[in-house]
Copies of this chain bind each other. A is one copy, B any other.
């Protein structure tokens, strides 16, 4: 079965068959470009941040945008996302988690041409050593809360909405999966993990209750037996456990009986 389709040689079986065939003719499909855009999130200095690159070309020149680009003709979407991230954010910036977010395809989202973008969500820890590209003048992490404000950039295209969707996906992922550990490097403390939850969700959590919840969730973290000095005593260190889904979930939204408690 070759790639060159010969569908036009098939005999129509009923009335609208020819129209059906015409719609599937490879030479007749609408010219739509397919790109990938990556929302790469990390937690640094108590802020949830997203990687943005400064555009050097028309349109939205000098505005900040998500790293991304065209999908290769024989390239899987996931591979395209990883490649674009490596090209635009530095080879070493491998996210610990990368998942598809959704597709964005409003007809007017790019003024040059019709572009359908498949957005990805990436999570990675804030690496202490600077990575190639990420701290260059044209690629840096921005605080998510600063986007759209005076202190932050104005995003190109519909990337503000994509970032918002990615942040919301990440917030939700912390509840039901162990992906919070993707934001910290091993080994980490329970407090490190709590600060991830607090930063991503933007709320304060009870240290005592959080600790009990994390340790009672099977497979979330594994004690290393080592300790680290916090400046005020010693604290135990942990590694990622084998679990990916959390049972029970760690809910950010308090249960019904807690609607009166505003602070954690």
Q: A14 — which chain B residues lie within 8 A by C-beta?
A: 56
Tell me if A106 is interfacial: C-beta within 8 Å of chain B. Answer: yes
Q: Chain A, interface size: which category?
A: 35 or more
Cross-chain contact B114 with A74 (CB below 8 angstroms): yes
The distance in angstroms between the C-alpha atoms of A74 and B32, with both chains bound, is 10
Interchain CB contact (< 8 A) of A34 among B13, B26, B105, B106: B105
Shortest Cβ distance from A139 into chain B, in angstroms? Answer: 13
Q: Is the CB of B118 within 8 A of A57?
A: no
Q: Which residues does chain B contribute within 8 Å of A253, judged by CB atoms?
A: 247
Do A57 and B26 touch (CB < 8 A)?
Answer: no
Stretch among A16-24, A43-51, A90-98, A196-204 lining the B interface: A16-24
Q: Is A228 an interface residue (CB 8 A)?
A: no
A193 to B13, CA, bound (A): 42
B107 touches A76 (CB 8 A): yes
Which residue from B30, B58, B73, B100 sits with its C-beta under 8 Å from A71? B30
A7 is an interface residue with CB less than 8 A from chain B: yes
**Interface residue ranges of A116-131 to B (CB < 8 Å):** 116, 118
Query: How many whole Å from A133's CB to the nearest CB in chain B?
Result: 12
A71: B residues at CB distance < 8 A = 30, 32, 105, 116
Number of copies: 2
Do residues B58 and A76 form an inter-chain contact, with CB atoms below 8 A? Answer: no
The one of B31, B58, B107, B256 in contact with A5, judged by C-beta atoms closer than 8 angstroms, is B58
Task: Name the residue on B nearest A14 (C-beta).
Answer: B56
Assuming the contacts A20-B57, A58-B5, asked whether A70 and B103 have C-beta atoms less than 8 A apart, the reply is no
Across-interface contacts of A70 in B (CB, < 8 A): 23-24, 29-30
For A1-41 the 0/1 string (1 means CB < 8 A from B) is 10101110010011001001101101001111110000000
Q: Assess the A10–B58 pair: CB atoms within 8 A.
A: yes
Q: Return chain B residues, CB-CB under 8 Å to A232.
A: none
Q: Is the CB of A77 within 8 A of B116?
A: yes
Inter-subunit contact B118/A73 (CB<8 Å): no
Residues of B within 8 A of A24 (CB): 57, 70, 112
Tell me the A residues contacting B by CB distance below 8 Å: 1, 3, 5-7, 10, 13-14, 17, 20-21, 23-24, 26, 29-34, 56-59, 61, 69-77, 100, 102-103, 105-107, 111-114, 116, 118, 247-248, 253, 255-256
Q: Closest 4 A-B residue pairs measured CB to CB?
A: A5-B112, A30-B73, A29-B33, A77-B105
